[in-house]
Structure 1
Amino acid sequence: MLGMGMTLTLDDLRGALSMPKEVLSGFVLQYSVMPLSGFLVSKLLNLPSHYAAGLILVGCCPGGTASNIVTYLARGNVALSVIMTAASTISAVIMTPFLTAKLAGKYVAVDASGLLISTLQVVLFPVLAGAFLNQYFQPIVKIVSPLMPPLAVATVAILCGNAISQSSSTILMSGGQVVLASSLLHASGFFFGYVLARMLGLDVSSSRTISIEVGMQNSVLGVVLATKHFGDPLTTVPCAVSSVLHSIFGSILAGIWRHTVPAEVKD
């Protein structure tokens, strides 16, 4: 989150103002398609309460920062991707605790105020700190920023590996169900993100971007929040599995789209 904040500039805000329809459409789809998909997939597969809560939590998280790279590879609108990731991340302070409490509250007890405080600590403060550093301490940022992506990757690997290893025996027994649930969650995000964006009248490049932003979640935030606020360690499993699957799905989609240039880009 600190590394992401270091990429934010005033130009990003100007960019958001220049394409309000795309940003608003992406925001609405981000916090409707994925939370509802998590809830419906949990119902469809009749998931145990701990897995259902974890899957819904993933669906209520903001877009993942890896989506920016995947958007670039897929010939999407990279500026829109960065703005959408920033917007969904900052608004996650309110949206993630609120939606998780509403949709997962029937499965497990959800401490909405605790989730709010943790999201402030894990998301908003680091992002604002990174943006502040980028604005006023650019020489330091130029030195530190190249180190942030590998550090972020290592952090993701450690957090998700830890979540899976702690519940390894249970995952081996019922892991297929979690993989299927996570696959359906992200597949629905990519599919409906694109289809609904096109139905709203957005161009192909922007629709690809929204599809990727909606389909790829900040699953590691889910791992952190689940570890801290849900008593059952199995709640973290869908979040950890999700971090792997959305990267695979996103990479495959980027590979397909990279070979089909949108008409507006050709023009």
Structure 2
Amino acid sequence: MQSSITFSLHTNKIINYKPKFIQLSLRSNIQPKPILSLPSTSKFNKIYTSKVAPLHCGISSNSYSSNEERGVRKWIELGSEAISTAFPLWVTIGCVLGLLRPSSFNWVTPKLCTVGLGVIMLGMGMSLTLDDLRSALFMPKEVISGFVLQYSVMPISAFLVSKLLNLPSHYAAGLILVGCCPGGTASNIVTYLARGNVALSVIMTAASTLSAVIMTPFLTAKLAGKYVAVDAAGLLMSTLQVVLLPVLAGAFLVKYFQPFVKFISPLMPPMAVATAAMLSGNAIAQSSSSILMSSGQVILASCLLHASGFFFGYILARMLGLDVSSSRTISIEVGMQNAALGVVLATNHFGDPLTTVPCAVSSVCHSIFGSILAGIWRFSVPAEIKD
């Protein structure tokens, strides 16, 4: 006699439930009755329950610690962004403190300034890759445009402003000297905070600094009637130590030490802000008495000079067909000069000590203007960076 046996297993309705026994029934033409009882550990049970995906409940300790780390990092990034956005405030506080309490900056030494700038440039290098720097070298239009605007807009603006305001000869010479100086290292910090093209900024700073050996003496002699000697070897070493080598080291870390870069990168913008505020305050502290004794004419002249540099640097770059990020970078490079170099040159080559006053005031003006621009532009990311 043949019997038909029917098994009905609804394992898809049982999730993570293992009964102690599974009851199976045979149904045939004869009266049905239970014939078999298998424990859940049998091969049969393993075969059919293995098709049911396990249900994971709860939170593992690894995921919890990972979420906690992400939360801490998010708070650090928010704090970094808040400090960076208030860049103009910190620079202003540093300048006011340097003017009213110059002794507050007695602890700032030239070596400390150099180390601080080097650390900041290292941080900026961490925001780049070696490919970014390589691509900046192959941007001839941007580099040449920036170079031409650097050594045309500022020297001409300094000459015209000194004539417009009828500055005394010592103030006029100091203002023109500042206009003929190369781009300052602080421009790289501001470009970094303003979401500009940092690689282009570094290349432009290096190019204008190296060419300053020829351009600064030539333009100063033509416009101010006074020849100044520039220490070519000193400028070259300074540029290598403070700009190029730290940036290359940062890009190297990005390529080979990603975990370290990921950990330290949120801390770099606040460090850049603190360094810029320290340098600005120290520059004012060094010449605070001369600044207080001078008339507001020098402050007005310096403000007009740097406002002209930022404005025409951006407008002319856009007229030349450059993108927004590169135009911002060129605006900052043109508007921010190496005022510290101007102070050194004025002290060594001009007989009147008042010649250094426009250089000291200039360092404050370009820092405040640059920080304001960085605060504004930081909220507007250029399309080419988004892409």
Superposition TM-score, scaled by structure 1 size: 0.81
Q: Is the 8 A contact 1:101 1:111 kept in 2?
A: yes
Are 1:111 and 2:227 an aligned pair?
yes
Deviation at 1:216, TM superposition (A): 0.7
Moved more, 192-201 or 11-20: 11-20
1:124 aligns with one of 225, 230, 236? 236
Q: Distance in 2 between matches of 1:93 and 1:31?
A: 13
The residue aligned with 1:252 is 372
Q: Count residues in correspondence.
A: 248
1:78-227 mapped onto 2 (5 Å cutoff):
78-105=198-225, 110-112=226-228, 115-117=229-231, 120-121=233-234, 123-128=235-240, 157-158=281-282, 160-165=284-289, 167-168=290-291, 170-171=293-294, 174=295, 176-227=296-347
Q: Distance in 2 between matches of 1:77 and 1:235?
A: 34
Q: Is the 8 A contact 1:62 1:218 kept in 2?
A: yes
Secondary structure of 1:96's match? helix
Q: Is the 8 A contact 1:160 1:220 kept in 2?
A: no
The residue aligned with 1:143 is none
Q: Distance in 1 between matches of 2:148 and 2:137?
A: 16
Deviation at 1:4, TM superposition (A): 5.5
Greater helix fraction, Structure 1 or Structure 2:
1
Task: Considering Cα pairs closer than 8 Å and 6+ residues apart, tell me whether 1 or 2 has the greater RCO.
Answer: 1
Q: Is the 8 A contact 1:67 1:213 kept in 2?
A: yes
Q: Distance in 2 between matches of 1:87 and 1:111?
A: 22
In 2 relative to 1, CA 253–51 (structure 1 residues): closer, same or farther, beyond 3 Å?
same
Amino acid at match of 2:303: S
In 2 relative to 1, CA 179–125 (structure 1 residues): closer, same or farther, beyond 3 Å?
same
Deviation at 1:13, TM superposition (A): 6.7
Root-mean-square deviation (Å): 3.1
Determine which structure has more spread, i.e. the larger CA radius of gyration.
Answer: 2
Deviation at 1:260, TM superposition (A): 1.7
Q: Deviations over 1:82-141 (max 9, x none)?
A: 111111111111111111111111xxxx233xx234x543x12333466679999x9xxx
Amino acid at match of 1:36: I
Q: Is the 8 A contact 2:230 2:345 kept in 1?
A: no
Deviation at 1:39, TM superposition (A): 0.4
The residue aligned with 2:256 is none
Amino acid at match of 2:171: Y
Q: Deviations over 1:36-80 (max 9, x none)?
A: 000000011111101100000110111111111211221111110
Q: Is the 8 A contact 2:280 2:367 kept in 1?
A: no
1:12-27 mapped onto 2 (5 Å cutoff):
14-27=134-147
Q: Distance in 2 between matches of 1:56 and 1:47?
A: 11
| Divergent runs of 4+, >2 A | 1-17, 125-136, 148-165, 167-170, 263-267
Overall identity of the aligned pairs, in %: 74
Q: Is the 8 A contact 1:93 1:124 kept in 2?
A: no
Q: Is the 8 A contact 1:75 1:261 kept in 2?
A: yes
Amino acid at match of 1:164: S
Amino acid at match of 1:98: F
Deviation at 1:257, TM superposition (A): 1.1
Q: Distance in 1 between matches of 2:167 and 2:131?
A: 44
Secondary structure of 2:300's match? helix
Are 1:67 and 2:183 an aligned pair?
no
Q: Is the 8 A contact 2:283 2:363 kept in 1?
A: no
1:40 aligns with one of 137, 160, 169? 160
Q: Is the 8 A contact 2:184 2:333 kept in 1?
A: yes
Q: Is the 8 A contact 2:218 2:227 kept in 1?
A: no
The residue aligned with 1:242 is 362
Mind listing any 5+ residue stretches in structure 2 that lack a counterpart?
A: 1-113, 253-267
Deviation at 1:16, TM superposition (A): 3.9
Q: Distance in 1 between matches of 2:358 and 2:301?
A: 8
Secondary structure of 2:337's match? coil
Q: Distance in 2 between matches of 1:251 and 1:156?
A: 11
Mind listing any 5+ residue stretches in structure 1 that lack a counterpart?
A: 139-145
Superposition TM-score, scaled by structure 2 size: 0.57
Q: Is the 8 A contact 2:201 2:333 kept in 1?
A: yes
Q: Distance in 2 between matches of 1:87 and 1:100?
A: 19
Secondary structure of 1:116's match? coil
